[in-house]
Structure 1
Amino acid sequence: MASVHDDRILAALRTLLDRAHLATPGQIPDVVAAAAAELGWTTILHLVDIEQRTLIPFSATGTPPAEPQSIEGTLAGRAFKLMQPVVAHGGEPAVWVPLLDGTHRLGVLRVAVPVGTDLAEPSVEDAYRLLTHLAGHLVAAKSPYGDALAQVARSRERTVATELLWDLLPPLTFGCEGMVISAILEPCYDVAADAFDYSVVDDVAHLAVLDATGHDLRGTVVAAVALAALRNSRREGRGLEDTVRVMDRYVRQQGHGEIYATGVVGRLDLPTGRLRYVNAGHPAPLLVRHGKVVKQLTGGRRMLLGLGREEVVVGEEQLEPADRIVLYTDGITEARDDAGQFFGLDRLVGHLERSAAAGLPAPETLRRLTHDVLDHQKGVLQDDATLVLAQWASGEEHTFTSGLMPASASLGEDGPRR
């Protein structure tokens, strides 16, 4: 069976990196295709749509149009959900490879190879994994420089409020040593005033979820201001208590006593698992341990943001390895069906526990959960629905990239480093 020599792999990667410098976002498929051509391969880039239901083709110039791939029931969707390459058997030899930026799922890359090429041969596997690995970073790096990628991912018009808020949010998934953070916000096209944020600074993970009152642009602006106050305080090195006070002050100034915000702001010490948090009139976070929701985190209570109250009470929780913390807005539990029945806390708990039992990664857990919430309301939410899931000291962060690591890049007999 055909193998791939190192010099050809190097030529392909050099082509990708050299052409990437002056490429626009819309030229990324051409850059990736040119790199693959050095190996005698062809590629089709598929980006996940905003609602995470479909993988949309973004083809290179001059290539035949490709069909969208549903995330449910397709090989492409399986690669996306499991974050592992999936070989297509029968017909043209090809493999679907998850397209990631770090741990953030961007889509998939279909790599087709000549007949007679063994996709399981180590050098071939190394080549398509490395090519896709760099392609994912390229997609993320080029996204801020134009609208082509954003246009591919949307299927209908967005409101101005949605455009404003989504441009302020961090990527939906982040991983580092000892931590995986994933978040999701629905609806994707008519968002009102939910927001989330995270950051890891000096071995401390910062987590937040916010929900401003109102369902118009004013509420969105208040949520954006609260988000900016949070980030400013974090970057200025303020403690948790002072950060909440600063957020309260700016929400009060922007809301003019008419618009307020609830939220949970927390800090998790990664070496020890010590969680400190403040809950400003928000639903209590959930603690998932050994696959079960074992408690609600009911400490750290204070009045909602924007009332000018200075008192701040900090709640604390000591986590155990592999614990999951789930922050959510009331748009999840208060989603109602045609009969007026709430989605409710019990359904939320049941979904989290089933996902844990199935071993689903954090982003896939949230994707399926928000789709269940949407289906409960026939696709039309009465309120924003936002979730943040943080998993500590589980080693899951290494499974995100294992599908893209070359076989030669072994983690060693001791496994992943914590």
Structure 2
Amino acid sequence: MTSLPAEEQRRIVAACFARTGLTLKQLWLRYFALGGDVGELELDAFLQGLTTLPRIQRDMVAHAVNERLDEVTGTRRAPYSTVTGEDTVPRGPLAALVGLLAGARRAPPERLPAVIAAASRALGLDVTVYLADDNQRLLMPFLTEEAAERVPLAIDITTAGSAYQHSGSVLTEEQDEPRLWMTLLNGDERLGVLELVPGSEADLRDPALRDQCRWLATLSGQLIASATRYGDGLDVVRRRHRRGPAAELLWQNLPPLTAATRTVVVAGGLEPAYDVRGAAFDYALSESTAWLAIFDAGRDTGSASLAVSTALAAYRSARREGLGLRGQEAAVDKALSARFGDAVPVRGTLAELNLADGGLRCLEAGREPPLVLGGGHGPSIMDEGCRPPFGEGSPARIATTWLRPGDLLVLHTEGLSGARAAGGERFAFADCVDQNRGQVLPETARRVLQAAKSHCGNTFSGDAVLLLARWSGPL
């Protein structure tokens, strides 16, 4: 490190201050908030070169100027008294982390793949971002100048898809060109994959580098998920067909498709992805409890999406007020009755799982009671808590049972379990879930929905919604 002469620092700081648009008083207030201890007149004299300030005070003035420059231009120009030499410029993992975080700040969503690619070069890697399409059948490349010739990759038959299915990584070496496929994660939710190709000095077989690639994928996934909330640039890559207003409304009301705590994993999905009209799911996880819900108003009325959105909002409001199943049920009934009367029946299921002991309480309004599947027993149906659709009839008796560690709770709509082939053959829903429950939970949900879609030729008589929860047992 080298020291910048005091007068040289003062001259550059004063020039930078002139570009901030701040008045002297505004600059002094910022400087004072940082801990500065000279008055406004002394600060003015310093900027004009009439007096000097101690090193720490000069650096506080520089920092106050830089904060404003960050707000205005995103570029820091005012120097500090100590200049970092080239030998201490961050390299490797630190440079990648700094590059990723700094590059993502104020970046529009569509810029993030380029930011991720630039950060990865500090690890000696070239990276391409692939995002899963809304149907979870293809991995769509985000095309940049470096990845202009990439094509979509099928999840079910490619190496990249294998990494996505298992929420892990796959290393390949084809024609002496190693390549690592790493799942792009937001927590436990799969967003896509990263394709990582090493430069001349990087070795993808190095365990330390593999760990760095894993946190790169995780942090990149979190940045992408965050950016998707304030722009459409990434969503248009994932979207392969038009969504109507009803589907757009329902998708925007969904929570992430996957979430987890130390004792429970939740995963869901719905079909037809681009034409869902009147069904949705919701959940909330805490240290002690998992709350789950599905709502289904059918596909036959123009108000179905509004009715389901009303039920979902009433349920969330009651849940967030700390109300239990009875309070949630009453809130949904009241909201639907006030808005729709009995014109739009909404079926669904409300469930509450105690994560300390596996105690499960459910009530079901309609015709599709929850299933419980376990390793040592066949499917069991919780059909004791059935009542008429929400907004109609009287409260149901709450069904109770106890889950064993590893048990899978299955909530679903009739559109899924009642899917039929062209010849009338009904989809073997429970068997399909049972056959695929050895996968990571979001993959179980994906495979069941894909199987139902194939069975009925993507011609669902009702919206197909699936919500799974696996309890691993108490800590």
* TM-score normalized with structure 1 length: 0.89
Shift of 1:326: 0.4
Shift of 1:258: 1.1
Residues 38-84 of structure 1, C-alpha deviations (whole Å, 9 max, x = no match): 22321100000000000000133454231111101111000000111
Question: Structure 1 residues 81, 292: CA separation in 2 closer, same or farther (over 3 Å shift)?
Answer: farther
Residues 157-210 of structure 1, C-alpha deviations (whole Å, 9 max, x = no match): 111100001000001111111000000100011111111000013511100111
2:321 alignment partner in structure 1: 236
Shift of 1:131: 1.2
Q: Distance in 1 between matches of 2:240 and 2:298?
A: 28
Question: Structure 1 residues 243, 53: CA separation in 2 closer, same or farther (over 3 Å shift)?
Answer: same
1 or 2 for the larger relative contact order (CA 8 Å, sep ≥6)?
A: 1
> Which of 47, 50, 55 in structure 1 is aligned with 2:139?
55
> Which of 273, 277, 287 in structure 1 is aligned with 2:362?
277
Q: Distance in 2 between matches of 1:61 and 1:222?
A: 45
Describe the SS at the equivalent of 1:298: coil
Shift of 1:217: 3.5
1:23 alignment partner in structure 2: 107
Q: Distance in 2 between matches of 1:244 and 1:339?
A: 38
CA contact (8 A) 1:93 1:117 kept: no
> Which of 131, 139, 142 in structure 1 is aligned with 2:224?
139
Residues 112-137 of structure 1, C-alpha deviations (whole Å, 9 max, x = no match): 10246321212211221121111111
Letter of the structure 1 residue corresponding to residue 92 of structure 2: R
Whether 2:175 is the aligned partner of 1:175: answer no
Residues 213-262 of structure 1, C-alpha deviations (whole Å, 9 max, x = no match): 44344011000000000000001111211210110111122223211111
Question: Structure 1 residues 378, 213: CA separation in 2 closer, same or farther (over 3 Å shift)?
Answer: closer
Whether 2:224 is the aligned partner of 1:125: answer no
Aligned length: 386
Describe the SS at the equivalent of 2:347: strand
Q: Distance in 1 between matches of 2:325 and 2:210?
A: 46
Structure 1, unpaired ranges of 5+: 1-5, 395-416
Shift of 1:380: 2.0
Alignment of 1:19-418 (within 5 A): 19-61=103-145, 63-91=147-175, 92-115=177-200, 117-290=202-375, 292-307=377-392, 309-343=393-427, 347-356=428-437, 359-393=438-472, 418=475
CA contact (8 A) 1:192 1:384 kept: yes
Q: CA RMSD in A?
A: 1.8
Structure 2, unpaired ranges of 5+: 1-89
Shift of 1:342: 2.0
Question: Structure 1 residues 258, 146: CA separation in 2 closer, same or farther (over 3 Å shift)?
Answer: same
CA contact (8 A) 2:167 2:440 kept: no
Letter of the structure 2 residue corresponding to residue 352 of structure 1: V
Question: Structure 1 residues 322, 62: CA separation in 2 closer, same or farther (over 3 Å shift)?
Answer: closer
Residues 122-159 of structure 1, C-alpha deviations (whole Å, 9 max, x = no match): 22112211211111111111110101111111111111
Q: Distance in 2 between matches of 1:100 and 1:163?
A: 23
CA contact (8 A) 2:299 2:462 kept: no
Shift of 1:292: 4.8
Greater Cα radius of gyration, structure 1 or 2: 2
Shift of 1:339: 1.3
Letter of the structure 1 residue corresponding to residue 227 of structure 2: K
Describe the SS at the equivalent of 1:145: coil
Letter of the structure 2 residue corresponding to residue 350 of structure 1: D
CA contact (8 A) 2:276 2:463 kept: yes
Q: Distance in 1 between matches of 2:223 and 2:233?
A: 14
Residues 326-371 of structure 1, C-alpha deviations (whole Å, 9 max, x = no match): 011001122121112222xxx1121122113xx2111111111111
Letter of the structure 2 residue corresponding to residue 15 of structure 1: G
Q: Distance in 2 between matches of 1:202 and 1:327?
A: 21
Describe the SS at the equivalent of 1:180: strand
CA contact (8 A) 1:174 1:182 kept: yes
Q: Distance in 2 between matches of 1:29 and 1:202?
A: 34
Q: Distance in 1 between matches of 2:217 and 2:203?
A: 18
CA contact (8 A) 2:182 2:214 kept: yes
Describe the SS at the equivalent of 1:332: helix
CA contact (8 A) 1:99 1:133 kept: yes
Letter of the structure 2 residue corresponding to residue 54 of structure 1: L
CA contact (8 A) 1:199 1:207 kept: yes
Letter of the structure 1 residue corresponding to residue 372 of structure 2: L
Question: Structure 1 residues 312, 350: CA separation in 2 closer, same or farther (over 3 Å shift)?
Answer: closer
Q: Percent identity?
A: 35
Letter of the structure 1 residue corresponding to residue 387 of structure 2: R
Q: Distance in 2 between matches of 1:82 and 1:217?
A: 39
Residues 365-389 of structure 1, C-alpha deviations (whole Å, 9 max, x = no match): 1111111111111122221101111
Structure 1 residues 101-110 or 372-381, which shifts more?
Answer: 372-381
Describe the SS at the equivalent of 2:322: coil
Describe the SS at the equivalent of 2:214: helix
